[in-house]
A and B are shown apart, each in its own frame.
Chain A
C-alpha cells in the first residue's frame, strides 16, 4: 500500500505535466451503438485535428440521470465541460446556476441555425445552449390500409376534422385495425398549443418572467382535450394504456393495428424499416391541427448542448469548439441521415437538397417544411418552466382521465389546478 501511494505521488505530477492537454468530458444520453458510436467518431476526428484537446464522450444514462449526475459532479467541482440536456430540463438547468450561456463563452454566429430551433434555446436574449438533436411530431399512415378504406394516401388529413372523417371510412371498411394510435405524451399537447398560437404558460410562455400558471383553461387546450374525447368515444383511438409508451405505440402502428399514428420525426427511419418488414408502405404527413386554426408551426423537441460554469476557460472554449464541430454543416447532414433528427442548420438542409436527399426520401420533406415554415412567436418558442417534467406528466394524466370517461371541462379544470400548484411549488424554491 505504502509503495503504491509513493508511486502515485511520484508519477502523479509528472504524468499531468507531460499531458499539457485539455481534457473535455462530454456526457450524453445515447446508449445505443448507432448514435453513441457516431458521437465517438466525431470526437476522435476532432481530437486528431486538435492535438491540444481531448474530448471524452460518455453515456451517462437517461436525460434525467445525466442531469442529476452533472449537478452532483458540479457541486464537487468536477463538472463535465459539455452536457446534453433535454428540452424540458432547460429552465431547471438554467436555474441550477451550473451552466454558462454558450454565447458568453465566445462569439458565435448563430444565423445559420434554423430559427425555431435556436429560438427555443435563446432565453433572455442569450443563447444558452447549442441545439443538437431536434425533432417534431408528424402524422404517419399505413398506405395500404388507407387504400383499402378508399382513402387517397396522397392527401392525408391535416386537421382534426379531416382525420375524424377518414376514421369514419376506416371504421366502415372493417379492417381489423383501429383508425388512430399514438402514445399519450404531454409533448404533443405542447405542440398543439403552439400550432394554435397559444402559449402554454403565462408571462410569455415563461420567457419574460417565471411562469406562475398554465393556460389549460384556454380554448386551444379545450380543442386538444375534446379531440381525444371524440376519438375515444367513437372508438377510433387506441394506445397501450401506459403513459409515454413510445415503443408500444410504434409497435401497434407497425403491426398494422392502427391506420394513423403520430410520433416524432426522429422515428421515420425505424418506422419505415419496420413497415417494410411487415409488408406495408408508410406515408408521412404534417401534424393534423384543430379545425379553423392557422398553422403556426411546431416547438422544437429534443436536446441541446450545455457548457458548465465551473470549468477552465480553455475547457469551456474547447467544449464549444467541439460542439460547433459536431453540429457543423457536414456533420449535421450526416447525423440526420443516420438518425432522422433534424439537421439544425440551414446550410445542412441546403447540402441535403443538393445531394438529392429529399427526392430519395420524400418522407422527410414534410417534416422539414413543418419546421422551416414555423412562425416565430412566444408560443412556438416553447414554454419554459422548472417543473416541466412534472407538469408534462400532469397533463398526460389529465388526458388519461378524459379517455377514462371524464368530461373535458372537469378534466381540464383539475389538470390546470394541479399543474399550477406544481409551478407554485417550484417557484417557492426562490423565495
Chain B
C-alpha cells in the first residue's frame, strides 16, 4: 500500500542513492531470492510438473497423463460443485465479514464510555488459533449436548441439527469464518477510522449532513483504500485459511449431490493430496488454484489503479 516516490529536498535536487554496477543490488537481493526459490518457486515448478502425472506419494509411482488430471477435474461433477461452493462461501464470508467489521469498528470508535474495552473484546478472537476456534464451535453446536441447542431447546423448543443439515452446516461454517476473520478486519478499520481527517468530517457536519450521510458519503470513500486491501486479503483467507475450520467443524460434510457441502477447494486438495495420497490429482488442483490466485492478484492491481481513492 506504500507508494515510493523519489524525495526531493527544498532545492529540487533529486536525493537518490544509485548503485554503481549491477552486481551489488543482486547481492542484496540474493538472500530473499534464495528463500523464495527454495520455498516458493521450486515447489511451484515441481507441482506444475506433477500435475501432468498420475502419481501416488506413498507408492512413488508416476505415469504421464498430460492434461488428463486437469480435464478430469474440470469434467468432474464433484470438483465443479466444490468450486461453486467455494465461490458462494467466499462471496458471503467476504462481504458479510467486511460489512460487519466496518460497522463494529465504526461503533467502537465512537467516543463512548468503555470504548477501549469494546475494542479489546472485538480484537481478542484474533488471538485464537483456527484449531481452537473450530473445536469451540464444534462443542457449542453439538446437537444433543451443545450449549446453543440447550438454550434454543429451553427458549424455543427447537434443536436444529447444525452439522448435518446441509444449509445449516454451510451457514454455520460461513458464520464461523466471518467471526474468525472479524478481529483482523476490525484492527485495520479501527486504525483507519482514527486516521480519518477530522476537518472534512466536521465540515460535513457543519454543512448539515446526517450521521448516515457522514458515514456513507465521507467516511466510507475515505476508507476505500483499506477496504480494498481487506477485500483481497479476505478473499485469499476464504480460499486458503478456511481449511482448519472446516476440517474440525464438519470434515467437509454433510454430503449432498456430489460432494460435502462445506468442502471447499483447498480442503478437497488436502483430502486428495494428503489423506487419499492421490498426489497427481492434488497437484493439478494446486495448479488450478495457482491460476485462480494469479487472477485475483491481477484484478487487485487492475481495479486498484482505477477505483480506489487514496486521498491527497
Residues of A near any B CB (own CB < 8 A):
64, 67-68, 71, 75, 92-93, 95-97, 178, 181, 238-245, 248, 251-252, 255, 257-258, 386-387, 389-390, 393, 397, 400-401, 403-404, 422, 425-426, 428-431
Q: Are A397 and B54 in contact (CB under 8 A)?
A: no
- Give chain A nearest CB distance to B137 CB in angstroms: 11
A-B contact pairs, 6 of them (CB 8 A): A92-B58, A95-B58, A95-B59, A97-B59, A241-B253, A245-B251
Assuming the contacts A242-B138, A243-B251, asked whether A255 and B274 have C-beta atoms less than 8 A apart, the reply is: no
What separation, in Å, do the CA atoms of A93 and B56 have in the docked complex? 12
What separation, in Å, do the CA atoms of A258 and B61 have in the docked complex? 47
Residues of B within 8 A of A400 (CB): 164, 253-255
- Give chain A nearest CB distance to B286 CB in angstroms: 17
What separation, in Å, do the CA atoms of A188 and B44 have in the docked complex? 40
Chain A residues touching B, majority SS: helix
What separation, in Å, do the CA atoms of A92 and B276 have in the docked complex? 10
- Which of B57, B63, B249 is within 8 Å of A68, CB to CB? B57
How many residues on chain B are close to A (CB under 8 Å)? 33
Assuming the contacts A71-B58, A389-B275, asked whether A404 and B164 have C-beta atoms less than 8 A apart, the reply is: yes
Given contacts A386-B59, A425-B278, could you give 18 more A-B pairs where the C-beta distance is less than 8 Å? A64-B274, A68-B57, A68-B58, A68-B274, A71-B60, A92-B59, A95-B58, A238-B143, A240-B138, A241-B163, A242-B249, A257-B144, A389-B275, A404-B256, A426-B56, A429-B59, A429-B63, A431-B63
Q: Are A238 and B144 in contact (CB under 8 A)?
A: yes
- Give chain A nearest CB distance to B258 CB in angstroms: 9
- Give chain A nearest CB distance to B269 CB in angstroms: 14
Assuming the contacts A242-B249, A257-B145, asked whether A71 and B63 have C-beta atoms less than 8 A apart, the reply is: no
Q: Are B60 and A241 in contact (CB under 8 A)?
A: no
Q: Are B249 and A252 in contact (CB under 8 A)?
A: no
Chain B 259-300: CB-based contact to A (< 8 A → 1; otherwise 0): 010000000000000111110000000000000000000000
What separation, in Å, do the CA atoms of A400 and B164 have in the docked complex? 8
What separation, in Å, do the CA atoms of A193 and B142 have in the docked complex? 30
Q: Are A241 and B58 in contact (CB under 8 A)?
A: no
- Give chain B nearest CB distance to A38 CB in angstroms: 26
Q: Are A258 and B144 in contact (CB under 8 A)?
A: yes
Residues of A within 8 A of B63 (CB): 428-429, 431
**B169 within 8 Å of A (CB atoms):** yes
Q: How many A-B residue pairs have CB under 8 A?
A: 99
Residues of A within 8 A of B90 (CB): none
- Which of B164, B250, B278 is within 8 Å of A403, CB to CB? B164
- Give chain B nearest CB distance to A143 CB in angstroms: 20
Q: Are A241 and B59 in contact (CB under 8 A)?
A: no
**Residue with the greatest number of chain B CB neighbours at <10 A, chosen from A241, A258, A404, A431:** A241
**B189 within 8 Å of A (CB atoms):** no
Q: Are B163 and A242 in contact (CB under 8 A)?
A: yes
**B116 within 8 Å of A (CB atoms):** no
Q: Are B56 and A429 in contact (CB under 8 A)?
A: yes
Residues of A within 8 A of B165 (CB): 241
**B162 within 8 Å of A (CB atoms):** yes
- Give chain B nearest CB distance to A125 CB in angstroms: 23
**Residues in B46-86 with C-beta less than 8 Å from chain A:** 54, 56-61, 63
What separation, in Å, do the CA atoms of A245 and B145 have in the docked complex? 14
What separation, in Å, do the CA atoms of A258 and B142 have in the docked complex? 13
- Which of B56, B143, B274 is within 8 Å of A241, CB to CB? B143
Nearest chain A residue, comparing its CB with the CB of B65: A428
**B217 within 8 Å of A (CB atoms):** no
What separation, in Å, do the CA atoms of A244 and B251 have in the docked complex? 9
What separation, in Å, do the CA atoms of A75 and B62 have in the docked complex? 15
- Which of B161, B249, B260, B277 is within 8 Å of A397, CB to CB? B260
Residues of B within 8 A of A390 (CB): 275-276
Q: Are A251 and B145 in contact (CB under 8 A)?
A: yes
- Give chain B nearest CB distance to A278 CB in angstroms: 11
Residues of A within 8 A of B145 (CB): 251-252, 255, 257
What separation, in Å, do the CA atoms of A36 and B23 have in the docked complex? 54
Q: Are A96 and B58 in contact (CB under 8 A)?
A: yes
Residues of B within 8 A of A238 (CB): 143-144
Residues of B within 8 A of A430 (CB): 61
What separation, in Å, do the CA atoms of A178 and B161 have in the docked complex? 14
Q: Are B60 and A401 in contact (CB under 8 A)?
A: no
What separation, in Å, do the CA atoms of A393 and B268 have in the docked complex? 13
Assuming the contacts A71-B60, A240-B163, asked whether A64 and B275 have C-beta atoms less than 8 A apart, the reply is: yes
Q: Are B276 and A387 in contact (CB under 8 A)?
A: yes
Q: Are B59 and A389 in contact (CB under 8 A)?
A: no
Nearest chain A residue, comparing its CB with the CB of B250: A242
- Give chain B nearest CB distance to A100 CB in angstroms: 16
Chain B 94-112: CB-based contact to A (< 8 A → 1; otherwise 0): 0000000000000000000
Nearest chain A residue, comparing its CB with the CB of B56: A429
Residues of B within 8 A of A251 (CB): 142, 145
Q: Are A429 and B61 in contact (CB under 8 A)?
A: yes
- Give chain A nearest CB distance to B196 CB in angstroms: 44
What separation, in Å, do the CA atoms of A67 and B56 have in the docked complex? 13
Nearest chain B residue, comparing its CB with the CB of A75: B60
Residues of A within 8 A of B274 (CB): 64, 68
Q: Are B251 and A96 in contact (CB under 8 A)?
A: no
Q: Are A397 and B61 in contact (CB under 8 A)?
A: no
Nearest chain B residue, comparing its CB with the CB of A247: B138
- Which of B54, B144, B250, B275 is within 8 Å of A181, CB to CB? B144
- Give chain A nearest CB distance to B210 CB in angstroms: 46
Residues of A within 8 A of B278 (CB): 425
Residues of B within 8 A of A243 (CB): 251, 253
What separation, in Å, do the CA atoms of A422 and B275 have in the docked complex? 13
What separation, in Å, do the CA atoms of A370 and B250 have in the docked complex? 33
Residues of A within 8 A of B276 (CB): 387, 389-390, 422
What separation, in Å, do the CA atoms of A404 and B253 have in the docked complex? 12
Residues of B within 8 A of A389 (CB): 275-277
Residues of B within 8 A of A255 (CB): 144-145
Residues of A within 8 A of B250 (CB): 241-242
**Residue with the greatest number of chain B CB neighbours at <10 A, chosen from A64, A238, A242, A401:** A242
Residues of A within 8 A of B255 (CB): 397, 400-401, 404
Residues of B within 8 A of A393 (CB): 275
- Which of B54, B144, B169, B254 is within 8 Å of A252, CB to CB? B144
Assuming the contacts A401-B255, A429-B56, asked whether A241 and B164 have C-beta atoms less than 8 A apart, the reply is: yes
**Residues in B137-171 with C-beta less than 8 Å from chain A:** 138, 142-145, 161-166, 169
